[in-house]
Structure formats: structure tokens, C-alpha cells
Amino acid sequence: MSDAPVIGVLALQGDVREHLTALAAAGAAAGPVRRPEELAEVDGLVIPGGESTTISKLAILFGVMLAVLMVSVISGVDFPYLAQVTRLNAVTLAALAKAPAPPEGVKIEGAVSPDTKVSWAASSGAARYRIHWRGTTAPQWEHSKDVDGLGDTLKGVVIDDWFFGVSAISTDGYESPAVFPGPAGSFISTK
């Protein structure tokens, strides 16, 4: 008896054969699923890409749509984990509610300079501010510097090599989300 997971492929439309072949090559026991009762025999389900309207109509016609939803939604929920995520979300929202508003008017300057100047307008309730910066390909902030005023110059930090953000911090340490310089989602032209 194999310990390989049994993975079903919803066999209504799409590249069913190709998915079965790929799953078998990856070491899974794979088989087509066309009827609701076949869902009980698999550990997981692949739904091949295709024309979604056609797939949904066929899934309803074959009686597998509701069964897929019930199996994938209810039986796939890890309720203790979900409770922990809910607790984390509640604590995060409470911390954000206690934080000052994010600073407005964040600006950066430093073209043709080895340093970058960052400035912003005062935020109500802020005791200090934090300048964040990260490389242009980094997924998270890599550096930060706390500042008491409404701006600072980052020596040796070239403007073209980094993304910048500024957050406001309350007297009791709650921090707002970081704000990028300039209007969100826009590019400023200097014509």
C-alpha cells in the first residue's frame, strides 16, 4: 500500500490528462473526479483551468459543484488555526486604532546626490516618526530610523536604490502604517 496522497482532477473540461500525468510524475496517486461520491476517495482536488462558465455549468449538471464546495470549504477549514488568525487580526486592528494617523505630504529629495532627504507634515497624536527604507526588490522594510522632527537626511542612502516610507508613532509606541512619498499609485511629472 502506498503512502502517496490521492489527488483527484476534476474531469469535466480542461487539461485533465496533462494534470494526471504531472501528478503521477510528482509521486501522487492521481485519478479523475466526475461525480460527488468520488470526492470522498481523494485527499486533494485539482481544478484544471479552462472556460469557467462551462466548467461551472458542467459541475452543476454532474452534481459535483455543491459537493466540491462542501468538501473544499468546510472539511478543509482548520478551525483552531482560523481562531488564532482571528485573534491576530483583532490585536492588529486594536494596535492600528491606537496609532496616530499616518503622516501626509511625505516627500523625498536627493537626485544627483549621495544622500536622501525625507520630509512630511505633522500627524496629530504623533510623538515621533520612523523613516523606513528597503531595496527596490526587497519584500519588506530592511532599515529604519526614528526621528523626532518632520524630516531628516539619510547620509549615504542614494534615492534611486531604495523605496522609502514614513510612519507616525504615538507616545505609547503604537505605529501607523508607513506612507510612501507622493500620491499613492501615481507618478509625478516635472514638465
Does residue 62 register a pLDDT over 70? no
Of 41 and 142, more confident:
142
| Domain final residue pick, 52, 79, 106 | 79
**pLDDT attached to residue 176:** 95
C-alpha cell at 7: 489527488
The domain boundary, picked from 55, 79, 103, lies at 79
Task: Judge if 74 and 97 occupy the same domain.
Answer: no
The predicted model gives 99-113 an average pLDDT of: 92
Q: What is the CATH number of the domain that holds 63?
A: 3.40.50.880
What is residue 74's three-state secondary structure?
Answer: helix
β-bridge partners, 46: 9
- Domain encompassing residue 172: 93-184
Mean pLDDT of 101-108: 94
Q: Band the pLDDT of 51: cuts 50, 70, 90.
A: low
Q: Is there a domain that residue 51 lies in?
A: yes
Residue 34: per-residue pLDDT: 81
Instruction: Please give the pLDDT value at position 76.
Output: 66
- Domain of 138, CATH number, reads 2.60.40.10
Q: What percent of the chain has pLDDT over 70?
A: 79
**pLDDT at 72 (0 to 100):** 55
Same domain, 106 and 24: no
Domain count, the chain: 2
Task: Look at residue 147 and tell me whether its pLDDT is greater than 90.
Answer: yes
67 and 127 housed in the same domain: no
**pLDDT higher than 80, residue 183:** no
Percent helix, strand and coil across the chain, each rounded to 5? 30, 25, 45
Rounded distance between C-alpha atoms, residue 38 and residue 30, angstroms: 12
Question: Is position 34 within any domain?
Answer: yes
Is the confidence at residue 100, as pLDDT, over 90? yes
